[in-house]
Amino acid sequence: MSGPSIGAEAPDFTLPSTADGDVTLSQFRGKSNVVLAFFPLAFTSVCTAEFCDFTDGLTDFGAVDAEVLGISVDSVPTLTEFRAKNSITVTLLSDFKRDVCRAYGTLLEEQFFSRRSYFVVDRRGVLRWSHAESELGQKRANTELIKELENL
């Protein structure tokens, strides 16, 4: 995965979201840490389990002052339906043009969707931790992500 380096400023972006308008990464600077959770496609079994887990763990993420943002190449209407069907409360962002996936080095060019990848960005906007799954069917547990946030 070639993307931003740990310790570097996280590449800023603005994407349309399921949260009534665009979301810009830098809007969280000085306010909260952010977990960027890139995922392949809505409605797949692992992605559904992953975002249901995130929803169930939002209180735990809040306790370490972190927002969770899901990013996929799906359209906003698809992501909105995915959220509704699965009672997901995490904000989902549409990288339909795949620019953010490319900036973070997560895009699988041949499949044209993102590898499941995680980035922890501190409240100063600095990338502090990242992980890319080697297999599409794998995902990190909330406890692992929270541990990284506790280390900030």
> Within a 13 Å sphere around the CA of 85, how many CA atoms are in the beta-carbon half?
12
Q: Which of 15, 25, 36, 47 is catalytic?
A: 47
The total of other beta-carbon atoms located within 10 Å of residue 111's CB is 12
**Catalytic status, residue 47:** yes
CA-wise closest residue to 130 among 15, 54, 34: 34
Catalytic residue annotation? 47
